[in-house]
Chains A and B, each alone.
Chain A
Amino acid sequence: MGKVKFKEDACKGCRLCMSVCPKKILKIDETKVNPKGYHPVTCTDLNQCTGCTFCAVMCPDLIIEVYR
């Protein structure tokens, strides 16, 4: 199975990664504000991640690393 790692501090909360995740396991964490002033994205259920890389391919700011 896969695993995603976010450079949370650099996330701009644009939601583009969320729109392409086939498992719909990415969401904005409204309880956090990063140093840039955005609510960063987070993975709600890593167990479901397949490591497909779609989110990373879509992220304009290259803050997602994917492991399999």
Chain B
Amino acid sequence: MSETLVFKRPDMLRNVGFHYCPGCTHGIIHRLIAECIEELGLSDKTIGVAPVGCSVLAYDYFNCDMQEAAHGRAPAVATGIKRVHEDACVFTYQGDGDLASIGTAEIIHAAARSENISVFFVNNAIYGMTGGQMAPTTLVGQKATTSPHGRNQKYAGMPIRMSEVMAAIEGAYYIERVMVVDVKSINNAKKAIKKSLQYQMEGKGFSMVEILSTCPTGWGMTPLDAVEWLKKDMVDYYPLGLIKEGN
């Protein structure tokens, strides 16, 4: 009986193992982006911008030109790259500490200018790399090393829903929130990532896909418990689906 390979690692990912913790869904998101680039025939014209955070080493994983940006500055770096290389497909990959905290100015103004780039925003509701501190996206009651009794709304305010903030900006063309916790949601996330890259190639302007992702280590949970917590608690506060399309 002849066998066909029906699932394999995309060529857009270099053949090196990820350094991520067991069960961390950063790896799934890397694969989806790589597959979309490949399937759209953009492998030779893509330039990615990596963040500071657990995914700082993304430049080692994607098989295209990559540029590392200072913490939060990926949208500014991507702006420069895209303006010089108008035909290139330019994406940023950013965590919630990177995008929703230190890089808030850069992301908002990139959207305001409707820079023609795709932003992949990985929201895991915590600062993973630095050891699990509270992020602007940490849920009320969620424990972090800097909120050992859970985020206190009176003291730390409410978490920011970045996609809704970005959708209020005229220049944002496409904003969608997805998750990567099971086969169905992973397939949906892939559709959103692909759409964002397609819109960029059509010159539609700024788009952002927010991907809810787990951080089992920072959350102090097993990977399976983290998936369940994301599906219930995170989705409750960060509703999934299309937030804006067209401007």
* Residues of chain B lying within 8 A (CB to CB) of residue A57: 7, 183, 186-187
Asked whether, in the complex, the Cβ of B23 is within 8 Å of the Cβ of A15, the reply is yes
**Bound CA span A59–B223, Å:** 11
Chain B stretch 1-60: residues in CB contact (< 8 A) with chain A: 3-9, 13, 17-18, 20-28, 31
Known contacts A16-B224, A19-B224; is-contact A60 B24 (Cβ 8 Å): yes
Chain A residues touching B, range: 20 to 34
Q: Are A60 and B6 in contact (CB under 8 A)?
A: no
Given that A14-B23, A68-B4 are known contacts, is A58 also in contact with B223, CB under 8 Å in the complex? no
A62 nearest CB neighbor, chain B only: B9
Is A53 a contact of B224 with CB atoms below 8 Å?
A: no
Q: Is B202 an interface residue (CB 8 A)?
A: no
B7 & A60 in contact (Cβ 8 Å cutoff):
no
Instruction: Tell me if A15 and B224 are in contact (CB < 8 A).
Output: yes
Inter-chain contact A53/B223, CB cutoff 8 Å: no
Complex contacts, A66 vs chain B, CB 8 Å: 5-7
Q: Are A38 and B5 in contact (CB under 8 A)?
A: no
Contacting pair B23 A19 (CB below 8 A): no
Interface membership of chain A positions 1-44, coded 1 if the CB is closer than 8 angstroms to chain B and 0 otherwise: 01100000010111110011000000000000000001000000
How many Å lie between the Cα of A57 and that of B9 in the bound state? 10
A65 touches B227 (CB 8 A): no
Contacts of B9 in A (CB 8 A): 62, 65
Q: Which of A12, A53, A61, A67 contacts B3 (CB 8 A)?
A: A67
Bound-state CA distance A54–B183 (Å) is 6
Cβ contacts under 8 Å, A67 to chain B: 3-6
The reply to whether A12 and B23 form a contact with Cβ atoms under 8 Å apart is yes
B211 to chain A, nearest CB (A): 13
Q: Which of B6, B23, B186, B223 contacts A68 (CB 8 A)?
A: B6
Q: Verify if B236 is at the interface (C-beta below 8 Å from A).
A: no
Contact for A61 among B7, B17, B187, CB less than 8 A:
B17
How many Å lie between the Cα of A3 and that of B87 in the bound state? 41
Contact of B22 among A19, A38, A56, A58 (CB under 8 A): A38
A64 to B6, CA, bound (A): 11
Contacts of B23 in A (CB 8 A): 12, 14-16, 60
In chain B between 185 and 225, which residues have their CB closer than 8 angstroms to a CB of chain A? Answer: 186-187, 216, 222-224
- Chain A: minimal CB distance from B37 (Å): 16
The smallest C-beta distance from A23 to any residue of chain B, in angstroms, reads 14
Extra inter-chain contacts (17) besides given A15-B222, A16-B227, A60-B18, CB under 8 Å? A14-B216, A14-B223, A19-B224, A38-B22, A53-B6, A53-B7, A60-B20, A60-B24, A60-B27, A60-B28, A61-B20, A61-B27, A62-B31, A65-B5, A65-B8, A66-B6, A67-B3
With A58-B186, A60-B26 known to touch, is A16 a contact of B223 (CB < 8 Å)? yes
9 contacts between A and B (CB under 8 A): A12-B22, A14-B22, A53-B6, A54-B183, A56-B7, A58-B28, A60-B28, A62-B13, A62-B27
